[in-house]
Amino acid sequence: MTLERIIQKLDELEKKEGKLPELLQFYHKILQIQAGVGDQLEKPIPGLTRDASMVRLRQGKPLLEASEFTFDLILFQNTLREVTGVFSEFSHFIGITPEALIESPPEKLVSRDFIEAWYAGEDLPPTEAISQDIIRELIHAAVKPFLMDHAGALIGFVEQETWRRSYCPICGGTPDFAYLEPENGARWLLCSRCDTEWLFQRLQCPYCQNQDQNNLSFYSDDDEVYRLYVCEKCKRYLKAIDLRKAGSEVEVSLERLLTYELDAQAREYGYLAIG
């Protein structure tokens, strides 16, 4: 399972470096929770046939609608409690006060309505002590193993060549990382929510669909392993790794975390992250 491989790579990195940077320590703990939950889940039986999936994908509709995203609410709430514990531990780093999380326990606050609104990208029901942004982050971290489980059951239905849209074919989420294929340099996007990978045009912004080459460019490091795609139209950026240079041993979803300095660089240049 991918999460376990990522955790193992982080363990190795920690051994080598002595201590991980704080951001990676944080993700290390979140990943351990997610992997632990993933181990307890049974692969769901897809509610769609292959033919029905094909019809849906051709209409541009992701395979898992909010109403189809079923999961064990009690296990989710337990996961949310654990994730909240890690957020509290790193509260100084995330910019929240741990008291806010203790006084209004998110696992009591976040009901199915919250998750559906989060899933649809809509505003969450109003809350007092904790900001919507933090609740979104908490849901994102706690829901991930459940979403990945569904994605694993549905990915076989995705015809990559026919999808090529700017959102995830499984959950409709936004991409937050990309890689270039080792063989031919084709660009794949990675879903920020469920880690599904899908093929996408190299010369198009996945955030605003801009295809005007005068407004699209990328920065690259000296070894040309990493790229920072930027769009002048929407001012968003997308980090990427070129597997022709990096080799295929790389864990792409870990690279998304290891490249935090690229995020800082992008912000410094005046570009915005997704969200």
Binding site for Zn ion (CB under 5 A): 168, 170-171, 173, 191, 193-194, 196, 205, 207-208, 210, 231, 233-234
Q: Over the range 132-158, which residues count as b (16 or more CB within 10 Å of their CB) and which as e?
A: eebbbbbbbbbbbbbbbbbbbbbeebb
Question: At closest approach, how far in Å is the CB of 93 from Zn ion?
Answer: 26
Identify which of residues 30 and 171 has a Cβ nearer to Zn ion in the complex: 171
Closest CA to 219 of 163, 258, 271, 171: 271
Of 97 and 217, which CB lies nearer to Zn ion in the complex structure? 217
The CB-of-2 to Zn ion minimum distance in angstroms stands at 14
CB nearer to Zn ion: give 138 or 246: 138
Neighbouring residues of 187: CB distance < 8 A, sequence distance ≥ 6: 178, 179, 180, 181, 199, 200, 201, 202, 240
Cβ closest to Zn ion, residue 79 vs residue 253: 253
Write down the least CB distance from residue 168 to Zn ion, Å: 3
Q: Are strands 197-200 and 175-180 parallel, antiparallel or unpaired?
A: unpaired
At its nearest, how many Å lie between Zn ion and the CB of residue 253?
Answer: 12
Q: At what angle do helices 112-120 and 132-154 cross, to 10 degrees?
A: 80
Beta bridge partners of 179: 188, 241
Our CB check for Zn ion shows the closer of 28 and 193 to be 193
- Check: CB of residue 164 under 8 Å from CB of residue 204: no
- What is the closest distance, in whole angstroms, from the C-beta atom of residue 45 to Zn ion in the complex? 19
